[in-house]
Amino acid sequence: MSPKYPEGHVFYRKFKHDFPQITHAEGIYLIAADGRRFIDASGGAIVVNIGHGVEEIGRTMLEQVSRVAYVHAEQFTTGVLEEYAAALAEVIPMPDARFFPLTTGSEANEAAIKLARQIQMLRGQSGRHMIVGRWNSYHGITLGTLAIGGRKAARQRFLPMLREMPHIEPPTCYTCPFGQAYPACDLTCARALERLITEYGPETIAAFIVEPVSGAALGATVPPPDYFPTIRAICDKYGVLLIADEVMCGFGRTGRWCAFEHFGFTPDILTLGKGVAGGVFPLSIMAARGSLVEELARAGQDVAHGGTFSHHAVGAAAGLATLRYVQRNRLVEEAARKGEILGRMLHEKLDDLPYIGNVRGVGLMWGVELVADKARRAPFEPGLDVAHRILDAARDLNLMVYPGRGSFDGTRGDVVMIGPPAIITEDELRIVVDLLADSIRNAVQPLLGQPSGA
């Protein structure tokens, strides 16, 4: 039977949907028109880091709208924008950081790769036009970010339209693409960057873009401790700029303001999104070391990126109010503290289940990888769509989690992410983990005995 042609005039992202209508939201709860209360254990797409319905942020935004909502960023500035950037500079540990506010994470990454190209050209390196990405990464939905991203299934139908960019394998120790084990591997995955740069020729590579802690494409995969120092050294050796995409893992989510702080390196360019305004405004940031911006300024060049809604006054007000709320309520520290509790609970409850392959994460960013065959670490057949089955089973129990597919090889592999707002209590964390275990059981047990995808 073909799916029903949808009623109404909204062009939804999915035709086969039965979306509950949410009438309001508070704290960790989404409340539906029919009275159901969903626990938002992933803050949507790992966005609502501070919880829903923070009234003071709404009031600040309204005041800004009443004062001045929009000016064109090539012609004017606003006090709130200056104040916001100064406040960001206090918490984002990049030397003399400069902040270029935009709207979406995809757009911030587009701006980042364009800035990298612009800087390389300024340095007399106009052959450097390629951006190296990683397989099983996600940097956005535009054609530019699909080209650097590594979710094969998402790229497939657009391949003829993409300017293909080189990719290296990610540091997925659980299912190492090289069949090796850390630390005996001597970081083959990181050294692959050097091999690739020398193969293509350093004179062609502008930058390497990477998620310090992987988002949905790899479900909160955390690299080994010496991975990033090795990557940083390789980039420096070959004059390649290092872009950290912290659209998901940044702004306190991992228990540090920036995820790169866990790994002892500093990127040249950083992108933030999602949690920077906690979902109340579509706000993203492209940040750069001051020295890069100075290079542009000294050369008398403007930034080759703009956009009607860049440097938005209401976005800045929303971002500043969110930042102050995070600071006042110590939500970065809370993410670190509660993240440890959440991790412990997840391991205790899930590790021994036959279809749980791996539980990993840091701060309040956790991923659970499902397997059809635990001994062989073999994924389920992609057609079974296990991650989405779990999403549906969780929703039946009024729990919202975030699914990811392709964690094994870009097409196969199912993960479920948990990333609750940092205001969640310990009791609520316990409820989330119990409901998650039930959801996984309800979704996966009927599939046991099905052939694996390996």
Measured from the CB atom, is 250 or 453 closer to ligand PLP?
Answer: 250
Which residues neighbour 220 within 8 Å (Cβ) at sequence distance 6 or greater? 213, 214, 360, 361, 362, 365, 366, 367, 415, 417, 419
State the nearest-atom distance from the C-beta of 149 to ligand PLP, in Å.
8
Measured from the CB atom, is 247 or 320 closer to ligand PLP?
Answer: 247
Name the residue number minimizing CB distance to ligand PLP. Answer: 105
State the nearest-atom distance from the C-beta of 33 to ligand PLP, in Å.
26
Query: Computed from CA positions of residues 55, 60, 63, 64, in that sequence, does the dihedral angle turn out positive or negative?
Result: negative
Measured from the CB atom, is 139 or 289 closer to ligand PLP?
Answer: 139
Measured from the CB atom, is 105 or 379 closer to ligand PLP?
Answer: 105
Question: Tokens 């690739």 appear where?
Answer: 196
Measured from the CB atom, is 141 or 297 closer to ligand PLP?
Answer: 141
Show the beta-strand stretches assigned E in 96-227.
98-102, 130-134, 167-168, 205-210
Measured from the CB atom, is 101 or 215 closer to ligand PLP?
Answer: 215
The CA-to-CA distance between both ends of the chain, in Å, stands at 31
H-helix or E-strand containing 420?
Answer: none
Could you give the residue ranges of the DSSP H alpha helices within 1-127?
43-46, 55-67, 79-91, 105-122
Which spans of this chain sit near ligand PLP (rule: CB under 6 A)? 45, 104-106, 109, 138-141, 211, 215, 245, 247-248, 273
**Residue 201 has which token pair?**
């020729």
Closest among 405, 395, 385 to 435, alpha carbons compared: 395
State the nearest-atom distance from the C-beta of 217 to ligand PLP, in Å.
8
Helices vs strands, H then E, count in the chain: 13, 15
